[in-house]
Every structure is written in structure tokens, then in C-alpha cells.
Amino acid sequence: MKRALFVAAALLVAAAGAAASGLCKGRFPNPVTDVCWSCLFPMKIAGVQASPSGVSDPSTGAPAVCTCQRGPMVVPGFNMSFWEPLRTVEVVREPYCLVSLGGVSMDPGLDAPRHGRSAQRTAGVQSSFAGNVGGDGAGTPENGTVFYQAHWYHTPWLFVLEAVVDTSCLENAAWDLAYLTELDPLWGDALAAFVLAPESAIFANPAAAAACALDCTAAYAMAPRKELFWCSGCQGAIYPLSGWVASMSSTLQAWHLIAARMTVKLAREGLLWAAYGRRGQCGPYFEPIPRKDVWRTQLVYPTVTASGSRCCRPLGAPTQTWGAGKTPPASGEDGAILLWRMRDCCASKDLMSGTP
């Protein structure tokens, strides 16, 4: 049934592609070839690594043996740790341009800010936050403050494709377009975004900006510092939680920073939950400041990085080591990034058999 619905959606989008705006380009994702399936690893069963990985694996403190309350029963099990492809973030210049729907423009007639330079209300606030640490050579360096819109998709590919036995260890959700920043009044105004993240005022200073350089160094080693939650490694500062990017050196850098901000923004709004550690073994839980080292990114548009042992990277990892040539001139100004979340799950006989 899930496959049928997914194919039907793909056909519907393909039929609508003729109506797409000339400024809006995209490609419907192929979950078989566009997903870096090596990002599932390393996988651990009862604390024992079952498969290696070229990307660091953070320690979450999840015990090897666990129990979960299931109704009136306490069910014992063992911890199963893996990485799950969960969400996709589109970063676009034109409002309502849906890159992951084949480049369809679905403007409902509501005004929304477009890609451009700093505006009157945001320039002063944005300049007080740290810019990016370094560029990647992908795209044309701008070195200015620019604005992007973002779209948030539910893309739990393991569940949609039924690639793994359908258990409670996977997010049981359908593929869905879940969030458009065009409809969010906080996204276009850095001052208004302060309401959602008032702690951002603490980090609008040179000392906090300097700490992001340390986080960049750690992210380069594939191990970003979870303590520096206001930084997104080599991409720049998480705050403010808006679409304005200061000191943009490349489009690729900006896309990854926007993806990191969306992760924090949706977590703060209660729309994205954590699922790691002891607390996550029996199900997801609310985490207003997400731990960034349990998330990974993978570029899926305009080019796909789905091969090799390092086709996904931690939040904040530098793009200059792999970004050259990833943003072609004809279709490389809008991007899509797949987010992977680390999952700890208390797997029992009932869970593994799919028993509700």
C-alpha cells in the first residue's frame, strides 16, 4: 500500500511538471539510488558494532539491555542502534518552488520574501551573529547577507520502502510535505525569530563567534562539539532561526546552515523529536535544543552524493573538501539535503516481529 501511494504521488507530480515555473527546477527523489545507504552504519546490537562506518559514531549512553513499558507489560530487550533517513530540507530562492516535487511552483497567491540581500529590519541583527568560517569553492562567493526559503519533508525512506521489517524501531509515517517557511512569519524576520529562541541574544558576541571556529575544527574531524549548540561548525551560527545567512561564501554552505537551523527550529516548535540514548529506547522524546552530533546530512539535489563511505557528514562539517562541482550553473542555485537521525531502540521479540 505504501509503495502504491508513493508511486501514485510520483506520477501526479510528473503530470504537474509541465506547469512548473521556468525559474523553478528540481527532480523527484529516487529513494533507491539517491539515498546513501551506507549512512545506516555503524549499526550496533546490544552494544556490539555489527558493521563499520567511515563516519564517527557518537556515544549516547544507551544501555545494551533495556526494558520498555508496553501497556500493562514491561518488555525486556536489547539496544539496537542505527541511523535512519528521516527528513529532507529544500532551500530555495523563489517562494513555493518545490524542488523535490520535480520543480513544481505551487504559489497559493500569498506574498512571501524572495531571495535577496539584507533588508532593513534584518541587516543589523544578522550582522551581530557569526558568519561562516570558510567556503567550499562551490558556487559563486557572495560574502554578503542573503535570504532563502526552506521546505521540510517527512522522508522516512526505510519505512516507506519497507526496506526493513516494519517494527516500532522505525518512524511509521508517510512521505509528506510538512512545513513551508513561506507561511511562517518568523522566518523572514530575524528580530521576530528572537521570540522563538530568546537565548540567541547571549551568543551575539565575538567570544561566541570565536567558539564556532573550534566547532568547525571538530566538525572537520567528523565529531562536532555538542556543547557548542549555537554553532553549526564550518557553516556559521545557528542563530537567528531565520532564512537570513550572513557572510555567505557559497550556496552549498548556505544550504547546510539552513538545514541545521531548520532542525533546531522544528525541534523548538515540538515538530521534531530526538530518539537516542536511554530516553529514546522506547520512543522519541521532546528535545528543544537538539544534540547536533546525532544528525547527519546528505546532499540529494542538484547533485547526489550517494556513494562511498563518507557520502553523509555531521552537521557543520566543512564543504570545501568535497563541494567543488556540486552546484552546476543551470540548476545549482536551489538545493535539497537529506537529514539522518541516530536511533537507539529497545528491540524485543515483539518489536522485531511487528506485534503492536
Quick one: pLDDT at residue 131?
A: 45
- Cβ atoms of 154 and 203 within 8 Å: the answer is no
Cell of 196: 522563538
Lowest mean pLDDT among 79-88, 169-178, 274-283, 284-293: 169-178
Quick one: pLDDT at residue 1?
A: 44
- Cβ atoms of 60 and 49 within 8 Å: the answer is no
Q: Give CA angle at 322 (133, 296), nearest 5°.
A: 75
Residue 236 has pLDDT above 50, yes or no: yes
Q: How confident is the model at residue 162 (pLDDT cuts 50, 70, 90)?
A: confident
Cell of 129: 551573529
Give the distance from CA 140 to its chain's centroid.
Answer: 23
Mean pLDDT of 74-81: 93
Residue 14 has pLDDT above 50, yes or no: no
d(CA 306, CA 312): 8
Mean pLDDT of 255-260: 96
- Cβ atoms of 80 and 158 within 8 Å: the answer is no
| pLDDT one-digit tens code per residue, 109-127 | 888 888 765 543 444 444 4
- Cβ atoms of 228 and 250 within 8 Å: the answer is no
Instruction: Say which amino acid occupies 302.
Output: P
Residues near 108 by Cβ (< 8 Å), separated by ≥ 6?
Answer: 96
Mean pLDDT of 175-179: 95
d(CA 18, CA 299): 25
Predicted model pTM: 0.85
d(CA 297, CA 283): 22
Q: How confident is the model at residue 61 (pLDDT cuts 50, 70, 90)?
A: very high
Residue 299: Cβ within 10 Å count: 28
Cell of 221: 574531524
Question: Could you say which DSSP state residue 285 is in?
Answer: B
Comparing 324 with 275, the larger pLDDT belongs to 275
Cell of 25: 527546477
Cell of 223: 565529531
d(CA 169, CA 106): 35
Percent of the chain with pLDDT over 70: 81
| pLDDT one-digit tens code per residue, 15-60 | 344 344 468 999 999 999 999 998 998 899 998 888 777 677 899 9
d(CA 280, CA 60): 10
Residue 180 has pLDDT above 90, yes or no: yes
| pLDDT one-digit tens code per residue, 219-233 | 999 899 999 999 999
Mean pLDDT of the chain: 83
DSSP alpha helices (H): ranges in the chain?
2-16, 123-127, 157-160, 206-220, 251-268, 277-280, 349-353
